[in-house]
Amino acid sequence: MPDPLFANGVDLGAVVIAAVKVLAVFGVLMVAVMMMIWFERKVISDMQNRVGPNRAGPYGILQTLADGIKLFFKEDLVPDQADRFVFKLAPYLALLPALLIFTIVPIGGVVTIAHHTVELQVADPAMGILLLLALSSVSVYGTMLAGWSSGSKYPLLGSIRASAQMISYEAAMGLTIATVVIVTHSLSTRAIVDSQAASFFHWNIFRLGILPFPLFLVAVTAELNRPPFDLSEGEQELVGGFNTEYSSLRFALFYLAEFMNTITMSAVMVTLFFGGPDGPGFHFVRWLWPIVWFTVKTVVLLYVYVWIRAALPRLRYDQLMGIGWKVLIPFSLGWLLVVAAFRVGTIWGFSVFVGCAIAGGGLWQAIRVAGARRAALEESSPRWRRAPASDAHLRAVPEPDGGG
């Protein structure tokens, strides 16, 4: 459906309202990022029995603002061997997609302002989900080009890891979104929210059988380079990863993009799986309650992200690839087939479910046998021996060549 704001044509009032919506979303996101950084530091410190920021402002709430001002006045450095244009462009490629994705997220219902019907979202394009997928792909290029353009080897390794994550997890994320589109029959985010408004059990997390949500959560966490998938920033082995050579405001833009993407994708998950702003309302200030429910749901998902960061260690590179290709893609593809089959008929649905279960069991057995065979080959090879038992990691180390 077309935007009701422009249903009667484009006049000055409609243009002003559209501009105000854009500025309001930008301002809300900036404040939300500042609060999110403070929230994450406070929650993790509480989980680790520490105090966290407590100096700048009440409860340290202005610490993020102080850090931003400090970064703004630091010296801006560009390496001699860097591609200067791409090096300066990359931070904006990481930040802008987060801003643009949030514009298609419905954060409330419909209100009337100056005789204009206004949806509480910046825009509702008919192909909003395709725009979401396109922009989420572009954000990865910011990370990839930042490492490549720095002219340094450690950022380059971080950018290579970022491209590998994009390939491995973009497919799984797209397949889980496809299950939502099949059920709601629309690519519009507003239509997706409206299709879940009948009752609590019409939320897509229940209609889709719960499984697509955790699959989407894991895939998005990898897309955002959030722990435990932050291999492009591996401090232990890459110094600082793709942003090692960045300083001052450009480093702050990457930092801002990471947390803004976290907020944006949490809002997207609320839209796709948890009914968006849907929730019980009251007879007074009716326009406010959808915004309240949307905010509460988003904050809960943000807490889950912080919890994951505090609880899980960083994965190894082979584990990253294994989860993406051996777990997420098969599960998301299989569940997509099951959901599509159930839309055709119940008998078709159960038949496809049984078929996918059998195929999944065969795939798991093949992966298990391949892993056992690889371990056996390593044990039997004369070039490999087991490290002493005193070695905590029990690494496989190569025998020195005998000169033959």
How would you write 165-230 as a 3-class SS string?
HHHHHHHHHHHHHHHHHHHHCCCCHHHHHHHCCCCHHHCHHHHCCCCHHHHHHHHHHHHCCCCCCC
Return the axis-axis angle of helices 248-273 and 63-72, rounded to nearest 10°. 140
pLDDT digits (tens, 9 = 90+) for 309-323: 988 888 888 888 888
pLDDT digits (tens, 9 = 90+) for 268-285: 999 999 998 988 877 778
User: Residue range 242-270: average pLDDT?
Assistant: 89
User: pLDDT value at position 403?
Assistant: 44
pLDDT digits (tens, 9 = 90+) for 104-136: 999 988 888 877 788 889 888 888 899 998 888
User: Residue range 390-395: average pLDDT?
Assistant: 47
Residue 77: CB atoms within 10 A of its CB come to 12
Question: Dihedral sign, CA of 82, 85, 88, 94?
Answer: negative
| Contact of 164 with 232, CB cutoff 8 Å | no
User: Residue range 331-355: average pLDDT?
Assistant: 92
Look up residue 14 and give its two tokens: 């409609």
Phi, psi values for residue 286, rounded to 5°: -65, -30
User: Residue range 48-76: average pLDDT?
Assistant: 87
User: pLDDT value at position 334?
Assistant: 93
Segments in 239-345 forming alpha helices (H): 248-273, 288-311, 317-322, 329-344
| Contact of 253 with 94, CB cutoff 8 Å | yes
Residue 345: CB atoms within 10 A of its CB come to 10
Residues in CB range of 94: below 8 A, 6 or more apart: 139, 142, 143, 146, 253, 254, 257
Largest CA distance in the chain: 89
State how far the Cα of 96 lies from the Cα of 36, in Å rounded to an integer.
Answer: 18
State how far the Cα of 187 lies from the Cα of 178, in Å rounded to an integer.
Answer: 9
Residue 378: CB atoms within 10 A of its CB come to 13
pLDDT band at 385 (very low <50, low <70, confident <90, very high): low
State how far the Cα of 335 lies from the Cα of 332, in Å rounded to an integer.
Answer: 5
User: Residue range 209-216: average pLDDT?
Assistant: 92
Helix (H) or strand (E) holding 83: none
Q: List, in sequence order, every residue forming a beta bridge with 397; answer none if it has no partner.
A: 385
| Contact of 118 with 110, CB cutoff 8 Å | yes
User: pLDDT value at position 324?
Assistant: 87
State how far the Cα of 82 lies from the Cα of 167, in Å rounded to an integer.
Answer: 26
pLDDT digits (tens, 9 = 90+) for 145-169: 888 888 888 888 888 888 888 778 8
Average pLDDT, the chain: 85
State how far the Cα of 343 lies from the Cα of 59, in Å rounded to an integer.
Answer: 51
Instruction: Determine if the peptide bond prior to 228 is cis (ω within 30°).
Output: yes
The radius of gyration of the chain's CA atoms, rounded to the nearest angstrom, is 24
Q: Which amino acid is it at 134?
A: A
User: Residue range 344-373: average pLDDT?
Assistant: 89
Q: How far is CA 302 from the centre of its chain?
A: 11
Region of 394 (left: φ > 0; alpha: ψ -120 to 50; beta: rest) is left
Using alpha carbons, list the distances in angstroms from residue 126 to 10, 123, 186, 394, 404.
19, 10, 8, 55, 68
DSSP state at residue 327? I
